[in-house]
């Protein structure tokens, strides 16, 4: 039996492999930066910023911080129609079928349970009138990271009136369930819109690329329907997955939240609504979110409110100048 020190690995090969790895990683990093347009850099505590923002909006300002202990994975925001100045919110997957009322300061103003609903992967929420003109909330259970769901569901509930103080009980909301299938295959999606004029409901996919597909369920909504493919939209750059969306009250602007910021589509004057999807996405600085997940216009349509998941995460507002 031989004794002595074991034979050391050849250091030359180690160095060569390390250099090759750095070259490969650097190459793809460079390609990503060149494809992304203006650079996205870290801003304090690893927060991300979008490309240079459109000057139509003021700089984002922190108006509050989430103060609801249960709201730790915020995934959707909608400005209340019945309760001016208040917001509706919900968690991502892992929570029960609950909607939360919050002030723009982040303080809680009530929790409601959605009766008859499951919370597989809730991803977005919208506020719009139903077919009778009654304010309603549309809650989108459309997340599908594995792209394996045969159907997705949007729940509609009557928007509750928020009392000055809610008691300790958790009230319930009766829900209507609209189950949809895609015409081609399963998709992951995190954004919905409801056109307040037509009642049409739009689903925008999150396909981990610069391109998303837009689907629609035409009003009046019916259960067990197939969504209609409208078009696809493209937003170049890094971290541009569409994680939330909101339609302005006048139906002329759409804002998307992404992991790194936001973008807005603007409808040409006098054009049919579906022409909005072909417009150039305009960068909007929503603030340095850790992971932008939720966005909404306020009831006036002049201010965009956004927030990220995480306990005590900041709530930002950015107001239009014109």
14 burial type by CB count under 10 A (0-12 exposed, 13-18 middle, 19+ buried)? exposed
- Compute the distance between CA of residue 2 and CA of residue 87 in angstroms, rounded to an integer: 76
Beta-carbon contacts of residue 269 (< 8 Å; ≥ 6 apart): none
Domain presence at residue 312? yes
Please check whether residues 109 and 70 belong to one and the same domain: yes
Domain presence at residue 139? yes
Quick check: helix, strand or coil at residue 166? coil
Domain presence at residue 109? yes
Predicted pLDDT at 244: 96
Predicted pLDDT at 169: 75
Please check whether residues 20 and 47 belong to one and the same domain: no
Q: How many domains does the chain have?
A: 2
What values do phi and psi take at 53, rounded to 5? -85, 155
Quick check: helix, strand or coil at residue 207? coil
Asked if 105 contacts 85 with a C-beta cutoff of 8 angstroms, the reply is no
Please check whether residues 28 and 100 belong to one and the same domain: no
Please check whether residues 29 and 66 belong to one and the same domain: no
- Compute the distance between CA of residue 60 and CA of residue 318 in angstroms, rounded to an integer: 4
Tell me the pTM. Answer: 0.83
Task: For residue 86, give the H/E element and its range.
Answer: strand 86-91
Written as six digits, the tokens of 212 are 């998303």
Predicted pLDDT at 164: 72
Please check whether residues 20 and 135 belong to one and the same domain: no
Fill in the DSSP letter of residue 197.
Answer: T
- Compute the distance between CA of residue 269 and CA of residue 252 in angstroms, rounded to an integer: 9
Please check whether residues 26 and 64 belong to one and the same domain: no
Asked if 209 contacts 224 with a C-beta cutoff of 8 angstroms, the reply is no
- CATH assignment of the domain containing 254: 2.120.10
Please check whether residues 77 and 202 belong to one and the same domain: yes
Domain presence at residue 243? yes
Please check whether residues 26 and 90 belong to one and the same domain: no
Domain presence at residue 2? no
Please check whether residues 166 and 27 belong to one and the same domain: no
Predicted pLDDT at 322: 75
The β-bridge relationship of strands 108-115 and 172-174 is parallel
pLDDT < 50 positions in the chain: 1-11, 13-50
Please check whether residues 15 and 119 belong to one and the same domain: no
pLDDT in tens, 221-241: 999 999 999 999 998 877 788
Please check whether residues 225 and 290 belong to one and the same domain: yes
Domain presence at residue 271? yes
Domain presence at residue 132? yes
Please check whether residues 263 and 228 belong to one and the same domain: yes
Structural domain boundaries enclosing 15: 10-39
Beta-carbon contacts of residue 256 (< 8 Å; ≥ 6 apart): 191, 204, 235, 242, 243, 244, 245, 262, 263, 264, 265, 281, 295
Domain presence at residue 311? yes
Predicted pLDDT at 166: 65
């Amino acid at each position: 039996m031989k004794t002595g020190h074991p034979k050391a690995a050849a250091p030359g090969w180690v160095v060569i492999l390390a250099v090759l790895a750095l070259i490969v990683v650097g190459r793809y990093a460079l390609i990503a930066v060149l494809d992304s347009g203006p650079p996205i850099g870290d801003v304090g505590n690893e927060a991300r910023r979008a490309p240079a923002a459109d000057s139509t909006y003021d700089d984002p300002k922190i108006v509050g911080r989430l103060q609801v202990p249960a709201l730790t994975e915020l995934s959707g925001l909608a400005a209340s129609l019945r309760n001016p100045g208040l917001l509706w919110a919900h968690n991502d997957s892992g929570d029960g079928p609950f909607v939360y009322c919050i002030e723009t300061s982040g303080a809680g103003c009530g929790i409601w349970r959605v009766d008859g609903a499951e919370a597989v992967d809730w991803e977005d929420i919208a506020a719009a009138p139903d077919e009778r003109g009654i304010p309603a909330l549309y809650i989108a259970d459309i997340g599908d990271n594995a792209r394996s769901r045969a159907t997705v569901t949007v729940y509609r509930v009557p928007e509750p009136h928020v009392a000055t103080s809610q008691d300790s009980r958790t009230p319930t909301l009766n829900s209507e369930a609209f189950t949809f299938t895609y015409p081609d295959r399963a998709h992951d999606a995190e954004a919905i819109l409801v056109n307040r004029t037509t009642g049409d409901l739009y689903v925008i996919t999150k396909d981990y690329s610069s391109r998303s597909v837009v689907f629609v369920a035409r009003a009046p909504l019916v259960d067990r329907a197939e969504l209609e493919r409208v078009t696809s939209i493209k937003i170049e750059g890094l971290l541009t997955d569409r994680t939330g969306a909101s339609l302005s009250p006048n139906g002329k602007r759409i804002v998307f939240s992404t992991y790194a910021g936001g973008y807005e589509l603007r409808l040409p004057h006098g054009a049919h609504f579906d022409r909005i999807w072909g417009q150039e996405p305009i960068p909007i600085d929503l603030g340095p979110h850790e992971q932008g997940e939720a966005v909404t216009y306020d009831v006036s349509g002049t201010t965009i409110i956004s927030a990220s998941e995480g306990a005590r995460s900041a709530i930002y507002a950015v107001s239009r100048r014109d």
